[in-house]
Structure 1
Amino acid sequence: MEPTASLSTSEAAQGLQASSSAPSDSLATASLAAADGGEDSADEGAMSVEPAPWELQEDEALSQAFFASQQAKPLSAGLASGQRVKWNPGHYIALSRRDDASVIQALKEIQRFPQVKGLLLRYNWRQMEPRKGDYQFSGIDRDIQLARAYGKRVFIMVETKAFRAGVRAVPDYMHTGEYDGGAYKIRINAKSTLGSSDTYGENAALHNSKVRDRLIALTTALGRRYNANNSVEGVAFNETAMGRTLQPLSRKQTDAFFDNLAQVDTATRRAFPNTVVLQFVNFPAPYMPGLVENMIRSSVGVGGPDTFLNDHDLNRVTYPLYDRARGKVPIGPSVQPENYFARSHNGPHSPPSVKELHAFAQNRLHANYLFWSRTLIRPLMPYNQVLRMFQSEAFPRDGSGGLNSDCPSNLGACVKAL
């Protein structure tokens, strides 16, 4: 099975800048490359990039205009009314590698913990649709079968962003003018890979309506195949941050990008009426309130790529959106590799305990789901600490491992299985 895209070694090292007293070599390049992934997958669970400066700036007029545009959208009836929705809140482990050995190893590690419900696995759009309309879901089928064999469930993450140089974000047929090339380039400070000197990743060109329609076609096909599958707990989309574009998009293109993303979210919820749908959100600041407004109205859950305990921009822009979604739609933050080592983006080496991360997600972010990256960076080996926390006597023994298990009001009728 072809590995999914993940952060490069140098990118994943960003934000893990050690203080003078911290062991620098083990927290940066060498250990990241060796941390259960090697050259093809630098680290388990990495899936965020540093936002561009403009994405952190607030623009009240733009924010209000986009918010109003989402409120004005008519929503199709029946998105949540009376639907029975699979609802198994708790802890899930996020993997980058999906070869059978890695998936089986992760499942063995969590098999004895009933509060750890399964895995979040990433699937690159290009892999799922190698040719237009030709959907290849055999890898997903195999992963679901493995999870079911261990009594666990799967979150399917649809990746529309490539975090490594040389990896493509969208199918090859979209690399034409009809789709605006299918993707735009983002600077990720990556090392060269695949024999290329390029140091950029890609993000799907969702400002193009034809790209939007093809993504909706993909998630519609996924819904036909997996909505009724009790081993599929949910489907998720990667972060909203657009990244440092090689060629900046215009204001009109950016408006279209987030309007189209909102349409994709709504259409995917319609394709998965009995399944949790999550959109991971963080930036750009002006578009997030309007996007989350549409998500709440469409019963799409709020996820996130980072759980930082003391990040100024997330606390200012992103985390208040979790308050808005609380009790209405599912909430599912994730703990990324950087979150184990620092308390803010690009912060000094100051590892929080995994108990602190759990408490923050539980109490500040109101999490129903919590996705833990399977990160094994020496010397901290944080994922081993996560497993020890699951095993400890102090870990909550309720069904969701201390997370909020109440059925969100906008979701429908929550059931363990259909």
Structure 2
Amino acid sequence: MRDLFSRLAWRGSMLGTAMLLAACGGGEAESDDAVAAMPASALSASENRQALATERPQAATAQESGSDAVMSFDPQPWELEEDEATSQAFLTSLQPSRQAAEAASWTRVKWNPGHYVALSRRGEAALHEALREIKHLPHVKGLLLRYGWRQLEPRKGEYQFATIDRDLALARSYGKQLFIMVETKAFKAGVRAVPDYMHTAEYSGGAYKIRINAKSTLGSPKTYGENAALHNPKVRDRLIALTTALGRRYNYNNNFEGITFNETAMGQMLQPLSKRQTTDFFTHLAQVNKATKRAFPNTVVMQFINFPQPYMAGLVSNMLSSSVGLGGPDTFLNDHDLNRLTYPFYDKARGKVPIGPSVQPENYFARSHNGPHAPPRVQELHAFAQNRLHANYLFWSKTLIQPLVPYRSVLRMFNSEAFPRGHTGGLNADCPASFGTCVRKL
């Protein structure tokens, strides 16, 4: 896997050191601005990447924080290869759902497009702070928060939604919306992507291991992250059961704006899936997307996409026919692979389904996956999402990495007289054609 800070070509600089150390932030009692002194040479290239995704020892528990709050997968070489035969076969296998399209034509959908703040720190104090900062900004509609599958379903069929209930109540008390991400991937060593009951042969182990170049945390030379074994139909069925339960509880809640899933990139697998398993993985993901929209007919449902290339055309076609929105884990201004393979799908989705790119920590510091370190202005990121990606929603990571501390620039932009005064902050507010009627509240 390409190392983030090798890509950015600034590993030895003091700026890079400060960024890396502050990126470990996330503890409830810690300040994100506190940075210890350590020479850049003290961190290896692989540890640099991991530092951006690892929280301090005082970090909130798994019940309080998502596992991939500041990280996304680098595309693997095979994910960038164009395979027309596989692409066409997969596209053909996913027949559009006429029934879903007809049902959507008369459905009222909660629609509060605009800017949302994505948090990695998840304690109640951190949520209050973030909500106070945006309370008087009508174009900043609310928060995007992440919830691990294992957190939401600690035992088979037993769902724990208390944290969502708390966060939703907090957002409502500030007059804001909540957008949630259901995480089916774990980017940190030792963190599990799926509930414990799935770690059996019946579920193909529940997950497959992904290399994250992490330090050993479990007494072994190497540790790994995980991605749900969605190629197993029983894993698919359990994920559908989860989103169905979520839909029953939150579809009609006016402050529950939307639900999305992790990016599609599969990571550097310890044991690669076969081509048949990979096809099954994305066939099942398409079925999860469709089933989740059935469970949330009056709520925005979104899938973050990027790679692998052979499966994206079919997956996006299924999303468009199922009224499932298109999001993404990164807003890179000059990334060759994204501009060539991924961003054109935003054009296909424009006006048809909701579009919601996100600005992650890496995007504040570089203009492409390959670097170099050349921080764009936050106004450039906003303009790119608005004009190139046709965003209805834009999710901004609350990144406080020193010395740039980009989220402060985001807040200054939001409060600037030059920022668009409309209720979406310059983003597209048009109701998607696949929806019946868009309403602020049901």
TM-score by length of 2: 0.88
Q: How many angstroms apart in 2 are the aligned matches of 1:276 and 1:282?
A: 19
**Residue in 2 aligned with 1:351?**
375
* Structure 1 position 346, deviation (Å): 3.3
The more displaced of 384-393 and 189-198 is 189-198
- SS state of the match for residue 17, structure 2? helix
**Residue in 2 aligned with 1:31?**
22
For structure 1, the 5+ residue unaligned runs are 1-9
1:272 and 2:296 aligned:
yes
Q: How many angstroms apart in 1 are the aligned matches of 2:158 and 2:272?
A: 32
* Structure 1 position 105, deviation (Å): 1.1
Q: How many angstroms apart in 1 are the aligned matches of 2:417 and 2:101?
A: 46
Q: Where do 1:182-331 residues align within 5 Å? A: 182-193=206-217, 197-331=221-355
Q: How many angstroms apart in 2 are the aligned matches of 1:403 and 1:388?
A: 18
Instruction: Answer whether contact 1:44 1:373 (CA < 8 A) is retained.
Output: no
Instruction: Answer whether contact 2:142 2:171 (CA < 8 A) is retained.
Output: yes
- SS state of the match for residue 94, structure 2? helix
Q: How many angstroms apart in 2 are the aligned matches of 1:162 and 1:120?
A: 18
Q: How many angstroms apart in 1 are the aligned matches of 2:439 and 2:221?
A: 50
Q: What's the % identity of the aligned pairs?
A: 70
Instruction: Answer whether contact 1:262 1:294 (CA < 8 A) is retained.
Output: yes
Q: How many angstroms apart in 1 are the aligned matches of 2:429 and 2:220?
A: 47
**Residue in 2 aligned with 1:18?**
10
Instruction: Give the letter for the 1:246 counterpart.
Output: L
Q: Where do 1:12-411 residues align within 5 Å? A: 15-18=7-10, 23-28=15-20, 30-34=21-25, 36=32, 37-39=55-57, 40=59, 45-71=69-95, 75-76=99-100, 78-193=102-217, 197-411=221-435
Instruction: Give the letter for the 1:49 counterpart.
Output: F
Q: How many angstroms apart in 1 are the aligned matches of 2:226 and 2:322?
A: 28
Total equivalences in the alignment: 408
Distance 1:119 1:12, change over 3 A: farther
**Residue in 2 aligned with 1:3?**
none
Instruction: Give the letter for the 1:110 counterpart.
Output: I
* Structure 1 position 33, deviation (Å): 1.5
Q: What's the CA shift string for 1:380-416, capped at 9, x where partnerless?
A: 0000000000010000010100000000000221000
Q: What's the CA shift string for 1:96-139, capped at 9, x where partnerless?
A: 22211111111111111110000000000000000000000000
* Structure 1 position 53, deviation (Å): 1.2
Distance 1:72 1:390, change over 3 A: closer
- SS state of the match for residue 182, structure 2? strand
Instruction: Give the letter for the 2:437 counterpart.
Output: A
Q: How many angstroms apart in 1 are the aligned matches of 2:103 and 2:347?
A: 22
Instruction: Answer whether contact 1:205 1:211 (CA < 8 A) is retained.
Output: yes
Instruction: Give the letter for the 1:116 counterpart.
Output: V
TM-score by length of 1: 0.93
* Structure 1 position 27, deviation (Å): 2.7
Q: What's the CA shift string for 1:133-180, capped at 9, x where partnerless?
A: 000000000000011111111001100000101000000000001100
* Structure 1 position 51, deviation (Å): 1.8
Distance 1:131 1:94, change over 3 A: same
Alignment RMSD, CA only? 2.0
Q: How many angstroms apart in 1 are the aligned matches of 2:104 and 2:415?
A: 36
- SS state of the match for residue 256, structure 1? helix
* Structure 1 position 42, deviation (Å): 11
- SS state of the match for residue 139, structure 1? helix
Instruction: Answer whether contact 2:213 2:222 (CA < 8 A) is retained.
Output: no
Instruction: Answer whether contact 1:160 1:169 (CA < 8 A) is retained.
Output: yes
For structure 2, the 5+ residue unaligned runs are 27-31, 33-54, 60-64
Q: What's the CA shift string for 1:52-72, capped at 9, x where partnerless?
A: 110111111111111111136
Distance 1:277 1:96, change over 3 A: same
Q: How many angstroms apart in 1 are the aligned matches of 2:189 and 2:3?
A: 11
Distance 1:85 1:100, change over 3 A: same
Instruction: Give the letter for the 1:142 counterpart.
Output: R
Instruction: Answer whether contact 1:12 1:32 (CA < 8 A) is retained.
Output: no
Instruction: Answer whether contact 2:112 2:440 (CA < 8 A) is retained.
Output: yes
Q: What's the CA shift string for 1:7-63, capped at 9, x where partnerless?
A: xxx9775654428777231233x2212463524379994141112110111111111
- SS state of the match for residue 141, structure 2? strand
- SS state of the match for residue 309, structure 1? coil
Instruction: Give the letter for the 1:32 counterpart.
Output: A
Q: How many angstroms apart in 2 are the aligned matches of 1:282 and 1:381?
A: 27
Instruction: Give the letter for the 2:10 counterpart.
Output: A
Q: How many angstroms apart in 2 are the aligned matches of 1:76 and 1:403?
A: 27
